[in-house]
Structure 1
Amino acid sequence: MRASRLVSILLLLQTRGRMTAQELADTLEVSVRTVYRDMESLGASGVPLYGESGPDGGYRLLEGYRTRLTGLTADEARALFLTGLPAAAEDLGLGAVAAGAQLKLSAALPPEMRERAEQSRQRIYIDIPGWYQDSDETPQLTAVAQAVWTQQQVRIRYERWATPHEVLRTVDPYGVVLKAGRWYLVAGSARGIRTYRVSRITELEPLTETFERPAGFDLAEHWRDYLATFDARRHLGHAVLRLSPTALTDLGQFLEPTAARAAEESAEPPDTDGWTQVTLPVESAERALPALLSLGAEAQVMGPPELRETMRRTLAGMLARYEEDGPMVNSVSSPERPDEVPSGTT
Structure 2
Amino acid sequence: MSKADNMLSILWLLRSGKRVTAQQLADDLEIHIRTVYRCIDSLCASGAPIISDAGPNGGYRLLGEFVDSPLLFDSEEQKALVHASVFAREAGYPFTDALSRAVDKLKRYTNEEQLERINRHSSGLAVIQTPTDARELELLKRLEEAVARGESLSMDYAKGPELTPSHRVLDPYGIVHWKGIWYVAGFCRLRQEIRSFRVDRIVRLEAADTRFERPAAFSARDFLLHSLLPDSLEAETLVTVRVQGHEHALNELCKHWLFGHALIERGQPGEALFKLGELSLQTYVPYFLLPYGKSLKILEPQILINRMAEVSLEMYKHFEAMQIKSADKKGGRVDMNKFAMYGKLTASPGKRDELVSLLLEASRSLKDMAGCELYIINESVDDPDTIWVTELWSDAEAHAGSLKNEEVLAVIQRARPLIAGAEPVRLRPVGGKGLDL
Give the TM-score normalised by structure 1. 0.52
Distance 1:84 1:198 in 2: 22
Match of 1:308 among 295, 305, 309: 305
Whether 1:205 and 2:187 are equivalent positions in the alignment is: no
Equivalent in the alignment of 1:71: none
Q: Is the 8 A contact 1:141 1:198 kept in 2?
A: no
Bigger Cα Rg: 2
The verdict on how the C-alpha distance between 1:184 and 1:299 changes in structure 2, with shifts beyond 3 A counting, is: same
Q: Is the 8 A contact 1:156 1:205 kept in 2?
A: yes
Trace 1:1-346 onto structure 2 (pairs within 5 A): 7=8, 10=11, 34-36=16-18, 41-42=24-25, 46-47=36-37, 48=40, 49-51=50-52, 59=61, 84-85=85-86, 88=89, 91=92, 105=105, 109-110=108-109, 112-113=110-111, 116=114, 119-121=117-119, 123-124=121-122, 127-129=126-128, 134-135=130-131, 139-149=135-145, 151=149, 152-158=151-157, 168-179=167-178, 181-190=180-189, 191=192, 194-201=195-202, 203-211=203-211, 214=214, 222-223=219-220, 233-235=230-232, 236=235, 240-244=240-244, 246=246, 250-255=249-254, 256-260=256-260, 262-265=262-265, 276=271, 278-281=273-276, 283-297=280-294, 298-300=296-298, 302-303=300-301, 305=303, 307-317=304-314
Q: What amino acid does structure 2 have at the position aligned with 1:281?
A: L
Q: What amino acid does structure 2 have at the position aligned with 1:170?
A: V
Distance 2:307 2:99 in 1: 51
Residue 101 of structure 1, CA deviation: 6.7
Distance 1:260 1:51 in 2: 56
Residue 113 of structure 1, CA deviation: 4.8
Q: What amino acid does structure 1 have at the position aligned with 2:286?
A: L
The verdict on how the C-alpha distance between 1:115 and 1:259 changes in structure 2, with shifts beyond 3 A counting, is: same
Distance 1:253 1:208 in 2: 46
Residue 311 of structure 1, CA deviation: 1.5
The verdict on how the C-alpha distance between 1:251 and 1:206 changes in structure 2, with shifts beyond 3 A counting, is: same
Percent of residue pairs bearing the same amino acid type: 17
Equivalent in the alignment of 1:70: none
Distance 1:81 1:186 in 2: 29
Q: Is the 8 A contact 1:145 1:176 kept in 2?
A: no
Q: What amino acid does structure 2 have at the position aligned with 1:291?
A: F
Distance 1:228 1:196 in 2: 13
Residue 231 of structure 1, CA deviation: 9.3
Q: What amino acid does structure 2 have at the position aligned with 1:206?
A: E
Q: Is the 8 A contact 2:186 2:194 kept in 1?
A: yes
- DSSP 3-state at the match of 2:152: strand
Q: What amino acid does structure 1 have at the position aligned with 2:170?
A: V
Is the deviation greater in 38-47 or in 291-300? 38-47
Distance 1:172 1:81 in 2: 33
Distance 1:85 1:140 in 2: 19
Number of equivalences: 265
- DSSP 3-state at the match of 1:171: strand
Q: What amino acid does structure 1 have at the position aligned with 2:145?
A: W
Q: Is the 8 A contact 1:252 1:260 kept in 2?
A: no
Q: Is the 8 A contact 1:82 1:88 kept in 2?
A: no
Q: Is the 8 A contact 1:242 1:275 kept in 2?
A: no
Residue 145 of structure 1, CA deviation: 1.7
The verdict on how the C-alpha distance between 1:233 and 1:315 changes in structure 2, with shifts beyond 3 A counting, is: closer
Distance 2:173 2:12 in 1: 29
Distance 1:148 1:119 in 2: 34
Distance 1:264 1:120 in 2: 40
Q: Is the 8 A contact 2:171 2:188 kept in 1?
A: yes
* Structure 1 residues 288-322: Cα deviation after superposition (integer angstroms, max 9, x where no partner): 122222333331263353x4333222334566768
Q: Is the 8 A contact 2:156 2:168 kept in 1?
A: yes
Q: Is the 8 A contact 2:156 2:166 kept in 1?
A: yes
Equivalent in the alignment of 2:376: none
Structure 2 residue ranges without an equivalent (≥5): 28-32, 41-49, 55-59, 64-80, 328-437
The verdict on how the C-alpha distance between 1:239 and 1:51 changes in structure 2, with shifts beyond 3 A counting, is: same
Equivalent in the alignment of 1:67: none
Q: What amino acid does structure 1 have at the position aligned with 2:300?
A: M
- DSSP 3-state at the match of 2:171: strand
Q: Is the 8 A contact 1:175 1:187 kept in 2?
A: yes
The verdict on how the C-alpha distance between 1:232 and 1:116 changes in structure 2, with shifts beyond 3 A counting, is: same
Structure 1 residue ranges without an equivalent (≥5): 13-20, 25-33, 62-79, 328-346
Give the TM-score normalised by structure 2. 0.43
Equivalent in the alignment of 2:428: none
More contact order relative to length (CA 8 Å, sep ≥ 6) = 1
CA RMSD in angstroms, aligned pairs only: 5.5
